[in-house]
């Protein structure tokens, strides 16, 4: 288990509790007022122009939770416990950039049993429909930020995981193909179309690629555009 934890640390897993205004148990983010307060703390921390910018940046950071989960699924045929009560966001205030880590209270992983394709479908549904979508929809409702922006913030890191990190893993190609081409929309929530697949531009190999939406990073105190920002291409 220790070797697996060490591998996940590079994907922003932590086993340490950190005392910070931006450290929070994920279950609290299901409460609207807690979410409002947390997004306001992010806005102040990163110098965001408004709550929409803070919301977008939060989901860009939160995307590493799906990255951790899917790394374990594809590399080890293991499923992490993604219950809201099992996870906290941990922030090290001594760091200049806000790059939070994720701590699991119970890090035991459930091993694949039975048919892998059925198991994978269950894993994807548990991740997106049961965990990511409630967080994402709450943020969109509170801040009015487009769900397209939020989903693309997640998509770019999932693409990175499978195209850069997991290239040599046995199930990487078929898992990635399933996620971007075969997984139906209902595995992600109340969707008729898979919300990740629309952002994958296979004819470009997804690189250099450009985003379809702007994540608003230029509206933080750093005032920097992402290299794939559509605003850069349209200026």
Q: Convert the pLDDT of each residue in 63-114 to its tens digit.
A: 999 999 999 999 999 999 999 999 999 999 999 999 999 999 999 999 998 9
Q: Give domain status of residue 157, yes or no.
A: yes
Q: Give domain status of residue 233, yes or no.
A: no
> What's the CA gap between 48 and 37, in Å, rounded?
14
> What's the CA gap between 48 and 222, in Å, rounded?
9
Alpha helices in 63-132 (DSSP H): 64-76, 116-127
> What's the CA gap between 198 and 231, in Å, rounded?
19
> What's the CA gap between 72 and 127, in Å, rounded?
12
Q: Give domain status of residue 62, yes or no.
A: yes
Q: Give domain status of residue 86, yes or no.
A: yes
Alpha helices in 161-229 (DSSP H): 172-177
Q: Give domain status of residue 90, yes or no.
A: yes
Q: Give domain status of residue 230, yes or no.
A: no
Q: Does pTM top 0.95 for this prediction? A: no
Average pLDDT over residues 144-172: 95
**Number of domains the chain is built from:** 1
Name which residue leads in pLDDT, 8 or 207.
8
Backbone CA torsion sign across 212, 229, 145, 157: positive
**Parent domain of 195:** 2-202
Q: Give domain status of residue 221, yes or no.
A: no
Q: Give domain status of residue 127, yes or no.
A: yes
User: Whole-number mean pLDDT of the chain?
Assistant: 91
């Amino acid at each position: 288990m220790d070797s697996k934890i060490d591998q996940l640390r590079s994907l922003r897993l932590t086993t340490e509790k950190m005392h910070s205004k931006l450290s929070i148990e994920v279950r609290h983010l299901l409460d609207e007022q807690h979410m409002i307060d947390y997004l306001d703390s992010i806005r102040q921390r990163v110098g965001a122009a408004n709550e929409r910018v803070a919301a977008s940046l939060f989901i860009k950071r939160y995307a590493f939770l799906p990255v951790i989960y899917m790394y374990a699924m594809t590399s080890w045929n293991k499923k992490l416990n993604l219950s809201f009560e099992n996870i906290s966001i941990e922030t090290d205030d001594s760091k200049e950039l806000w790059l939070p880590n994720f701590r699991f209270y119970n890090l035991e992983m459930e091993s694949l049993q039975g048919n892998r394709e059925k198991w994978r479908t269950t894993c994807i549904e548990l991740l997106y429909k049961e965990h990511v979508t409630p967080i994402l929809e709450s943020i969109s409702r509170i801040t009015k930020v487009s769900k397209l922006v939020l989903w693309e913030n997640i998509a770019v890191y999932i693409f990175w995981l499978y195209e850069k990190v997991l290239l040599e893993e046995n199930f990487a190609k078929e898992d990635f193909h399933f996620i971007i081409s075969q997984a139906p929309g209902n595995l992600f929530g109340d969707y008729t179309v898979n919300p990740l697949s629309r952002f994958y531009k296979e004819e470009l190999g997804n690189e250099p690629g450009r985003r379809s939406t702007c994540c608003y990073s230029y509206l933080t105190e750093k005032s920097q555009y992402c290299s794939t920002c559509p605003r850069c291409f349209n200026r």
